[in-house]
């Protein structure tokens, strides 16, 4: 205690502007520590989401208190400002109605549990993983690494694609001249192959649904075939690529197995 009192006395003996800078520096460091502590990704998504929101609030409060204390060091009468403006005045003075709306929306997002950190969601045309939920914004990262930062109050509707399993849908063209018996056999071989080689991607064996369209937009001589597979959300793209590759390999094997028409 005596050491702390001595340090405080030495601090108060410094020039006001130096104390001002020291307080801002300490506030900055405290903010970084809060970001590090509460920004850690935990295994439990719910805990990680709530800690992220708490960290965002603490970060705001630390900076608010630090700025007020820093202003006191250069002679600004912060007491009269706080008393005169009142709590409502402080909030409105620091931001606007949109900030209050963002904060309230963020609280309701946490309470309603519509989605949380780690979930894959679709907002309008943007789809990705929720990487953080703060007091004002939600950050979503897509598969390309792009991060979309959205204000909480701007989130009107969201599709949570992490609740339950996902259906990977694969369409591919085949010539309409092919016999369906041969096509069926070729596709089933491809499905058996990919399900055996990439079983970790699928929750069950992919299903060949048959003809989806009798012609394609680019070539009237082709028909579109359809395969669906139940997968985890995080595996949907890998599963689609694996199925398409297996189909292509099966087509190549089918072509090489056919005898030459030339005598």
Radius of gyration (C-alpha) of the chain in whole angstroms: 30
Reply yes or no on whether the pLDDT at 124 is more than 60. yes
Residue for token digits 């979309």?
A: 148
C-alpha count within 13 angstroms, C-beta hemisphere, residue 165:
12
Cα–Cα distance for residue pair 39/221, rounded to 1 Å: 55
pLDDT at position 17 is 76
Cα–Cα distance for residue pair 70/171, rounded to 1 Å: 63
pLDDT in tens, 100-123: 777 778 777 777 677 888 888 888
Lowest mean pLDDT among 29-33, 34-38, 82-86, 176-180: 82-86
Give me the residues paired with residue 175 across strands.
222
pTM above 0.75, yes or no: no
Contact present, 73 and 23 (Cβ < 8 Å): yes
Q: Which helix (H) or strand (E) holds 137?
A: strand 137-141
pLDDT at position 50 is 62
Confidence of residue 262 (pLDDT cuts 50, 70, 90): very low
Q: What is the DSSP string of 55-69?
A: HHHHHHHHHHHHHHH
Q: What is the DSSP string of 175-242?
A: ETTS-HHHHHHHHHHHHHHHHHHSGGG-SS--EEEEEEESS-SS-TTEEEEEEEEEE-GGGHHHHHHH
pLDDT at position 246 is 94
pLDDT at position 259 is 59
Helical spans, DSSP H, in 39-175: 45-73, 78-94, 97-112
- The secondary structure of residue 117, as a DSSP letter, is T
Q: pLDDT averaged over the chain?
A: 77
Tokens of 33: 């520590």
Cα–Cα distance for residue pair 21/28, rounded to 1 Å: 10
Cα–Cα distance for residue pair 50/110, rounded to 1 Å: 7
Residue for token digits 């058996």?
A: 192
pLDDT in tens, 152-203: 888 887 888 777 678 889 999 888 888 999 999 999 999 999 999 988 899 8
Reply yes or no on whether the pLDDT at 241 is more than 90. yes
pLDDT at position 142 is 85
Reply yes or no on whether the pLDDT at 44 is more than 60. no
First CA to last CA distance, the chain: 102
Confidence of residue 225 (pLDDT cuts 50, 70, 90): very high
The two beta strands, 166-175 and 207-213, are: unpaired
Contact present, 154 and 106 (Cβ < 8 Å): no
């Amino acid at each position: 205690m005596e050491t702390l009192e001595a340090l405080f006395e030495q601090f108060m003996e410094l020039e006001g502007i130096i104390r001002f800078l020291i307080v801002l520096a300490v506030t900055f460091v405290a903010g970084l520590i809060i970001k590090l502590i509460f920004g850690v990704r935990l295994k439990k998504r719910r805990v990680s989401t709530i800690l992220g929101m708490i960290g965002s609030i603490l970060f705001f409060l630390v900076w608010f208190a630090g700025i007020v204390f820093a202003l006191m060091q250069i002679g600004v009468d912060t007491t009269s400002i706080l008393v005169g403006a009142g709590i409502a005045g402080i909030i409105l003075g620091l931001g606007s109605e949109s900030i209050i709306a963002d904060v309230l929306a963020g609280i309701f997002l946490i309470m309603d549990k519509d989605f949380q950190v780690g979930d894959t969601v679709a907002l309008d045309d943007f789809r990705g993983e929720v990487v953080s939920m703060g007091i004002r914004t939600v950050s979503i990262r897509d598969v390309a690494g792009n991060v979309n930062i959205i204000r909480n109050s701007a989130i009107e509707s969201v599709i949570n694609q992490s609740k339950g399993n996902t259906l990977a849908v694969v369409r591919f063209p085949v010539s309409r001249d092919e016999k369906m018996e041969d096509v069926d056999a070729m596709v089933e071989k491809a499905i058996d192959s990919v399900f055996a080689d990439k079983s970790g991607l699928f929750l069950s064996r992919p299903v060949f649904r048959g003809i989806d369209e009798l012609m394609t937009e680019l070539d009237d001589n082709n028909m579109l075939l359809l395969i669906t597979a139940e997968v985890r959300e995080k595996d949907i793209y890998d599963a689609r690529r694996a199925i398409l590759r297996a189909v292509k390999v099966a087509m190549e094997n089918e072509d090489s197995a056919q005898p030459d028409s030339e005598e």
